[in-house]
Amino acid sequence: MNELLNQLNPPQREAVTATEGPVLVLAGAGSGKTRVLTCRIAYMLDEKGIAPWNILAITFTNKAAKEMAERVEALVGAAANDMWVRTFHSACVRILRRDIERLGYGKNFNIIDADDQKNLVKECLRELRLSEDEFPPRAVLAEISSAKDKLMTPEDYRREYATEHRLSQMGRVYALYQEKLRASNDLDFDDLIMLTVRLFKDCPDVLEFYRNKFKYILVDEYQDTNAAQNELVILLAGEHKNICVVGDDDQSIYRFRGADVTNILEFERAFPGAKVVRLEQNYRSTQNILDAANSVIKNNSGRKGKNLWTEDGSGEKIQVYRANSDYDEADYIAGRVRELAADGYRYGDIAVLFRARASSRVIEDVFMREALPYRVLSGLRFYDRKEIRDMIAYLRLIKNPDDDISLRRIINVPSRKIGKVTMDSINSIARREGVSLYRAIGGHLDELKGGVAEFYETIKNLSALTAELPIDELVNRVYQDSGYAASLERDEKGAERAENVGELISGAAHYAETVDEPNFDDYMDNLVLVSDVDNYDEDMDAVVMMTMHASKGLEFPVVIVCGFDDGVFPGAKAIYDMEELQEERRLCYVAITRARRRLYLTGSHSRMVFGKTSVYKPSRFLDEIPGELYELTDAREELQARREQLRESMAQYRQRQRVMPSATVTKEAERPKPSGNLDLRPGDSVSHAKFGEGVVISAEPMGNDVHYKINFKSVGEKNLLGLYAKLTKID
């Protein structure tokens, strides 16, 4: 252990060895916080003799939890298996599986995903006769999620906003939404935290059990906690107050999800006498990159404050490029990627970060044209594909037959010729008898014959197998017995979808092989708690494109931040809202500190937005970076410089012509054509070395040159000057 401690810098050692009482570790980007957390756990187990089952370590992603558990096991061996290293949501699921019956729910509850939530809200809106135009389901869900993050029940919400018409209507939707969830014995993601807090408050003996169990608590990424998560941590820390939170207020970028940066800023108020340790030495980036990040973030107010530094040297200057257009910007990015690949970088070493997902379209267009390998991390997840969602709905239903949400999804998938009239009849029976749809069907099988009865028997038989079959075999039986396999065989385009289901079955087999005590409930919980970042494969050799939010927790040798323009990043709304602007500045800090060796910041003088060209100024964040840290290349200034050089050359040429005694006036028709001696007219076909073949739309004289507007097959319309275009006329 001493050898391990000697490998740490002084602040890291202090954070590791301060095991008693509250500790706040302010860990700057790339400062080795994961190493500190794992070493701290190893120190508690090895040096302090703390039992592993008395330790709870909470992270925000399964990827981070897995990495931490593996590192601890490498340090202390099998003892790591007896401690909880979990995400907030998975820890709460485990707690609720044990005691949720105390709140009136069944232990076999299901967790619905975002798509199921949206469908349920739509159902509530229809029943309440509220328009989706006035109350968009996505907006309603965001409001419900925000209320749950603040631990507001539907009753609390309706009391709070009783006098505000729109919000009071939202409260009605929230109340009905929650009733339907409870009737189906379903929870959404926000319920996992909210109900655990309620369980602890309503059942002091349950809280006491977990306080005695978890005498030492560690929480990673504390700046990302919301009010409910903060309350959960405070309740668990209770009397012993042996809590260590690690985070960086400068990396708090999830305000839109309910994250509250004041949780970390006011930690010392919640836990008086807390020790504060700052980790400022960076082991990731060059000093130029760190200086840029420090210079930007210091403009925020209300910070704890720290200054990142490294022993690895200044490194290369940051490259800033101001393009003429968004396609020009994408061309520049593609060009840099090719250069970097030629310099020995893998494509997988390069990340392109953007503020909003839509910003990637033009870049993707250019990458496809240039045949550059890339992937978009925030694209369609495997678990979002229809066939996978259908299979999961079957699995949810056989686990919890009262799950009306899942039943509605798959009762007629594949088709069993169950129409609207039949479903209305089933709904009426369920409402009249106060039971779930499945139980309503079971009590009236004589009336509901044909496909409905067949469906009921299928679910009944499969439910009986959940405790008998290995999980992968169970998933395969669901696939076969439900008729889903046969339906895909009949579908001309079903082969790929069938392969996806095969992957689901393989994943179930992998789960069974890698978990000590596999069980159906745990497998189902894992399916819904997985995230995009958890599936990120660092070994894939392709440029990764992702939002800045998705990049948090990752690092790359090369980072290209695109859209570095006011109105794009920071966004237009943030420019006029100080809190939003500070959040955007923290996002900029995160984006910059993802880079290890090279950083590019690209923007454009103009962009096509909603079919119209808009003009943009450089991002105000660029003004906050000292000029000596970067090299600026401006495509417009370069073009202007070439034009000035041309004017000077032409002026010198005319001067020589005037002083030559034998000079004669050349007829206009005999003057050399500035377009490379080509006589191009609208309708002519031309070829360009970069853009390929195109057709001239217009040709207008411009000084001593000709301005061409050309429609290229590959990239659309381009404006080019004849002297520089190097066009070839196609006869």
What is the phi-psi region of residue 657: left when phi exceeds 0, alpha when psi lies from -120 to 50, beta otherwise?
alpha
Decide if 458 contacts 410 (C-beta within 8 A): no
333 burial level (CB within 10 Å; 0-12, 13-18, 19+): buried
Decide if 705 contacts 713 (C-beta within 8 A): no
Decide if 356 contacts 547 (C-beta within 8 A): yes
User: Encoding tokens for residue 510?
Assistant: 């992998």
Element (H, E) at 243: strand 243-247
- Residues forming the active site: 33-34, 220-221, 251, 594
Q: Measured between alpha carbons, how far is 84 from 612 in angstroms, rounded to an integer?
A: 54
* 216-219 vs 374-376, strand pairing mode: unpaired
User: Encoding tokens for residue 608?
Assistant: 């096509």
3-state helix, strand, coil in the chain (%, to 5): 55, 15, 30
User: Encoding tokens for residue 508?
Assistant: 């179930």
Nearest to 531 by CA among 189, 222, 217, 231: 189
Instruction: Print burial letters for 676-704: b (CB count within 10 Å at least 16), e (below 16).
Output: bebebeeebebebeebeebebeebeeeeb
Q: What secondary structure letter does DSSP report for 701?
A: E
User: Encoding tokens for residue 433?
Assistant: 């008898």
How far, CA to CA in Å, does 532 sit from each of 244, 316, 409, 497?
A: 27, 32, 24, 20
Q: Measured between alpha carbons, how far is 103 from 639 in angstroms, rounded to an integer?
A: 70
Q: Measured between alpha carbons, how far is 54 from 69 in angstroms, rounded to an integer?
A: 15
Q: Measured between alpha carbons, how far is 651 from 636 in angstroms, rounded to an integer?
A: 22
Rg of the chain over all Cα atoms, to the nearest angstrom: 31
User: Encoding tokens for residue 413?
Assistant: 């998938």
